């Protein structure tokens, strides 16, 4: 069972815009059938086969994201995310859903350099492609029917696009509030929400009786952040961050850092800014970090950077360690482990593409000089 991972049993990731289901955000996806049934979310033939295979100690191809890292001697995503110690009592047709990622649509106000048209309406418009919104009314109704079969504690993590901009967000949260579940709502935001939509969001939060948390998708500061997360207003991000952190119904804040070749030089500064902001504006509120690497587009994967760039991560490690006195930080050891894996990942592969070529291609679409990121 050395290849089994809890996420095959606990996680359901639903992308309505592209009609996809994943059982782990890093695994292969499964296209929803034309006639969707409730068992497809957590007990499809595909996930049952993966569970059966990994319980037998096999490396199932769905999980190639992790196997590739492990073959290279690197810590994989599952190495720090698996929550099960014992798989002996589990079966292939038994789910234990505790975490649900929901992408309602691709509506977004940013066109991040590492994102794509199937995940951002803004990028689709820039590239002259149709905006992805394949989810049907029947899909949403089947999803809600499935939710009604769940029991216990479930975390709902709303992704995008940008969920605060989605017209479907408020109705879905209202429905979830009627379920016989111990619910926590997590909102992953780019932090760029304009005042009118911020007011709408806070109205939703204040009317609900559920637990709330907010995660910020960002990794660097200032102009680098505005160019990498193209369309971001860094000053608005800072203002919104403080509003979220100070809201009494938001129990904690998560920093969801998606590390890439362009963000590592400002990562230490971002860590410092976050910790100082929390200490100044919400000193009693719990917050913590989760990390991941960009692997697509491949040019932005930090494994292709020169080893000398590890000094950026060494600086981030030093900054994070300097806040050991801050008692409201959760998952400290896990993030330290992630920082070390990130440090060790840099320079472990030969570059396949030049970052200059990637920037040149992006500039032709966005019609703005992005060369300061290099």
Lowest mean pLDDT among 74-83, 217-226, 308-317, 361-370: 74-83
pLDDT range class, residue 73, cuts 50, 70, 90: confident
Q: Report how far residue 337's alpha carbon sits from residue 341's, in angstroms, rounded to the nearest whole number.
A: 6
- Do residues 211 and 217 lie in contact, with contact meaning Cβ atoms separated by under 8 Å? no
Residues 69 and 112 in one domain: no
Name the token pair of 202. 């806070």
Q: Report how far residue 53's alpha carbon sits from residue 55's, in angstroms, rounded to the nearest whole number.
A: 6
Domain final position from 81, 115, 140: 81
Residue (of 61, 62, 48, 58) closest to 92 by Cα position: 48
Q: Report how far residue 131's alpha carbon sits from residue 125's, in angstroms, rounded to the nearest whole number.
A: 7
- Do residues 335 and 80 lie in contact, with contact meaning Cβ atoms separated by under 8 Å? no
Residue (of 255, 277, 260) closest to 186 by Cα position: 255
- One-character DSSP codes across 157-180: EEESS-GGG-TTHHHHHHHHTTSS
For residue 250, tell me if it sits in a domain.
Answer: yes
Q: Report how far residue 344's alpha carbon sits from residue 75's, in angstroms, rounded to the nearest whole number.
A: 9
Residues 144 and 220 in one domain: yes
* Domains contained in the chain, number: 2
**What are the residues whose beta carbons fall under 8 Å from the beta carbon of 322, sequence distance 6 or more?**
none
Q: For 272-320, what is the HEC assignment?
A: HHHHHHHHHHCCCCEEEEEEEECCCCHHHCHHHCCHHHHHHHHHHHHHH
Q: Encode pLDDT of 91-102 as tens digits.
A: 999 999 999 999
Q: Report how far residue 126's alpha carbon sits from residue 49's, in angstroms, rounded to the nearest whole number.
A: 40
Domain final position from 30, 48, 81: 81
Q: Does residue 365 sit in helix, strand or coil?
A: helix
Name the token pair of 80. 């720090």
Cα distances from 113 to residues 26, 230, 369, in angstroms, run 20, 7, 13
For residue 299, tell me if it sits in a domain.
Answer: yes
Residue 48 has pLDDT above 60, yes or no: yes
Residues 109 and 250 in one domain: yes
As beta bridge partners, residue 189 has: 216
Residues 211 and 258 in one domain: yes
- pTM for this structure? 0.87
Residues 12 and 144 in one domain: no
Residues 132 and 76 in one domain: no
In the block, tokens 């200490």 appear at: 279
User: At 280, which CATH number?
Assistant: 3.20.20.70
Q: Encode pLDDT of 186-206 as tens digits.
A: 999 999 999 999 999 999 999
DSSP state of 34: S
Structural domain that includes position 231? 99-369
Residues 73 and 131 in one domain: no
Residues 278 and 227 in one domain: yes
Residue 1 has pLDDT above 80, yes or no: no
Q: Encode pLDDT of 203-235 as tens digits.
A: 999 998 899 999 999 999 999 999 999 999 999
pLDDT for the residue numbered 237? 98
- Return the percentage of the chain with pLDDT > 90, whole number: 89
Residue (of 213, 214, 140, 209) closest to 174 by Cα position: 209
Arithmetic mean of pLDDT, 6-23: 96
Arithmetic mean of pLDDT, 265-288: 98
Name the token pair of 9. 């049993």
pLDDT for the residue numbered 361? 92
In the block, tokens 């068992």 appear at: 39
Using left for φ > 0, alpha for ψ between -120 and 50, and beta otherwise, residue 111 falls in beta
Q: Report how far residue 372's alpha carbon sits from residue 109's, in angstroms, rounded to the nearest whole number.
A: 22
Cα distances from 313 to residues 302, 319, 339, in angstroms, run 11, 10, 7
Q: Encode pLDDT of 118-170 as tens digits.
A: 999 999 999 999 999 999 999 999 999 999 999 999 999 999 899 999 999 99
Q: Encode pLDDT of 79-92 as tens digits.
A: 888 999 889 889 99
Mean of the per-residue pLDDT values of the chain = 95
């Amino acid at each position: 069972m050395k290849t089994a991972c809890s996420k095959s049993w606990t996680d359901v990731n639903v992308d309505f815009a592209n009609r996809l289901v994943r059982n782990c955000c890093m695994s292969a996806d499964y296209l929803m059938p034309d006639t969707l049934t409730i068992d497809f979310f957590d007990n499809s033939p595909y996930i049952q086969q993966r569970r059966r295979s990994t319980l037998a100690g096999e490396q199932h191809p769905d999980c190639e994201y992790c196997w590739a890292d492990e073959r290279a001697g690197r810590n994989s995503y599952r190495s720090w995310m698996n929550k099960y110690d014992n798989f002996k009592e589990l079966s292939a047709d038994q789910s234990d859903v505790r975490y649900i990622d929901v992408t309602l649509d691709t509506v977004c106000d940013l066109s991040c350099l590492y994102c794509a048209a199937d995940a951002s309406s803004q990028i689709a418009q820039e590239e002259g492609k149709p905006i992805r919104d394949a989810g049907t009314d029947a899909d949403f109704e089947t999803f809600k029917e499935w939710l009604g079969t769940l029991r216990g504690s479930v975390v709902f993590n709303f992704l995008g696009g940008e969920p605060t901009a989605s017209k479907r967000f408020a109705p879905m949260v209202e429905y979830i509030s009627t379920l016989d579940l111990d619910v926590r709502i997590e909102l992953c935001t780019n932090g760029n929400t304009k005042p009118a939509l911020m007011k709408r969001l806070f109205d939703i939060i204040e009317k609900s009786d559920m637990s709330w948390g907010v995660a910020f998708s960002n990794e660097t500061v200032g102009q680098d952040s505005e160019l990498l997360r193209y369309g971001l207003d860094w000053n608005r991000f800072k203002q919104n961050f403080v509003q979220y952190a100070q809201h009494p119904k938001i129990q904690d804040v998560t920093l969801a850092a998606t590390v890439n070749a362009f963000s590592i030089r400002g990562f230490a500064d971002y860590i410092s800014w976050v910790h100082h902001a929390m200490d100044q504006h919400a000193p009693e509120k719990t917050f913590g970090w989760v990390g991941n690497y960009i692997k697509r587009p491949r040019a932005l994967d930090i494994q292709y950077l020169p080893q000398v760039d590890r000094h950026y991560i060494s600086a981030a490690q030093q900054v994070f360690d300097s806040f050991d006195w801050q008692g409201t930080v959760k998952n400290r050891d896990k993030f330290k482990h992630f920082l070390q894996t990130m440090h060790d990942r840099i320079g472990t592969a030969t570059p396949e593409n030049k970052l200059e070529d990637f920037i040149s291609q992006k500039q032709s679409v966005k019609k703005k000089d992005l060369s300061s990121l290099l």
